[in-house]
Amino acid sequence: MIQTIDLRGTRPTPAELLAAVPRALTDVTAASDVAAELINDVRARGEDALRDQAERLDRVRPSHVRVPASHVTEALAGLDPTVRTAIEETIRRVRIASAAQVPPQVTTTIADGATITQRWQPINRVGLYVPGGKAVYPSSVVMNVVPAQIAGVSSIALASPPQSDFDGRVHPTILAVASLLGIDEIYAMGGAGAVGAFAYGVPGLGLDPVQLVTGPGNVYVAAAKRLVRGVTGIDSEAGPTDILVIADETADPRIVAADLVSQAEHDELAAAMLVTDSAELADAVNLHLVDLMQSTTHSIRVTASLNGRQSGIVLVDDLDAAAAFSNAFGPEHLEIQTSDPDAVLALIENAGAIFLGPHSPVSLGDYVAGSNHVLPTGGQARFSSGLGAYTFLRPQQVVTYSREALREVADHIAALSTAEALPAHGDAVTARFTTAL
């Protein structure tokens, strides 16, 4: 039975709300030691380490860590036509939404002869991770690759775990989607070892280090991304998924329950939360969850998720309190199913992606909404954002001053550099206006 957290009759402080937020016992910090061991093994032994890790963790030893072109061609030829149509429509929609995330270059005139140009420079090389443990995620190929391409990234490498059901190859649907997107540098490697390979490179495979690692994964992938940050960039520590639904008495309990289960089926550590000011809705959703836990395809996984300490039904006095709890939780996915969802949206500060109304389920965002489903998990939406074209862009300011524009501020520079006891800064300016002896 999913736990109930009753906050009615209380007005917790922000600190108390953070303490009340349920989280899974297994967190990124706890997985760091294992992740570090796997990364260091790859740094020391390269391809052999990746093969050994696959044999131990994925239960198969890949014959090719770098995927041959023939495997990709074969996978595309065998792709189900209905899946191909769905993927192509998803690509189209994500391209449209991602294009809106690329800012224009802007030049600002500060004074006569003095300009600052704000430009957005794409990262040159990235490593995109597509998980493949408990499920296959061809949609994650789209969500990683398309915004990188829209941003102008010129070198894209992709990794996904080898599959025991396919003789150690990357899942053929993953390969087929990569082919549709024009990606030909693909590796059969998974988990923390794959993140380490991206960060440090594997010369024996011709795998050069990347500047940024993106993509979702389990808690060990999240831990690995934390460990390599500083050696390479990361998007976020996207670990086990979570969903939070804010709902009032107007919500359909059957739909709310279905949406909670849709994310609980990802992982035993997935978090599924309902926050409501209606005890009647809470009871009705609970009854539907009991039925769905028994009937859904991944019943064991869903039951473990919903019965875990990270999931629950939270009762609050009003929707203001519901929004406050949600902001403390920082959900990856936030659904608002209320009589006036826009009013609740105005109270929301922290969320990876927000789904308004009964006809905008998280499942839509997972596939064909056009939004990106690579989002911060574990409360990290309180301080980070989801994947987008902007993830692969670096803002750079280009400073251009004429001689006269510099002369106008030379005295200011000299005064400030003297005040900071850094006179050489001022000297570097005055040197431009004095004649060498």
Alpha-carbon distance of 216 to 193, in angstroms, equals 14
Helix axes 172-180, 81-99, angle to 10 degrees: 50
Cα atoms in the 13 Å half-sphere on the side-chain side of 69: 2
Catalytic site residue 16?
A: no
- Annotation-wise, does 420 bind a ligand? yes
Task: Give the other-Cβ count within 10 Å of 141's Cβ.
Answer: 28
Alpha-carbon distance of 321 to 179, in angstroms, equals 47
Amino acid at position 58, single letter:
D
- Annotation-wise, does 333 bind a ligand? yes
The token pair at 388 is 């987008």
Helix axes 172-180, 138-151, angle to 10 degrees: 20
300: buried, middle or exposed (CB in 10 Å: 19+, 13-18, 0-12)?
exposed
> Which is nearest to 131 in space by CA: 166, 158, 165?
158
- Annotation-wise, does 101 bind a ligand? no
Which of the following is catalytic: 71, 332, 335, 373?
Answer: 332
What are the strands, taking DSSP E only, across 75-183?
106-111, 114-122, 125-129, 155-160, 162-163, 169-170
Catalytic site residue 64?
A: no
Give me the phi and psi of 308, to 5 degrees please. Answer: -75, 165
Residue identified by tokens 């990856």 is: 332
- Annotation-wise, does 359 bind a ligand? no
- Annotation-wise, does 425 bind a ligand? yes
> Which is nearest to 67 in space by CA: 194, 152, 199, 223?
194
Lay out the sheet containing 233-234: strands in order across. 186-188, 155-160, 125-129, 212-214, 233-234
> Which is nearest to 178 in space by CA: 214, 213, 137?
137
Which of the following is catalytic: 333, 359, 373, 412?
Answer: 333
DSSP 213-274: EE----HHHHHHHHHHBTTBEES----S-EEEEEE-TTS-HHHHHHHHHHHHTT-TT-EEEE
Give the annotated binding-site residues for substrate: 241, 263, 266, 333, 366, 420, 425
Give the annotated binding-site residues for Zn(2+): 263, 266, 366, 425
Hey, which residues are catalytic here?
332-333
Give the annotated binding-site residues: 241, 263, 266, 333, 366, 420, 425
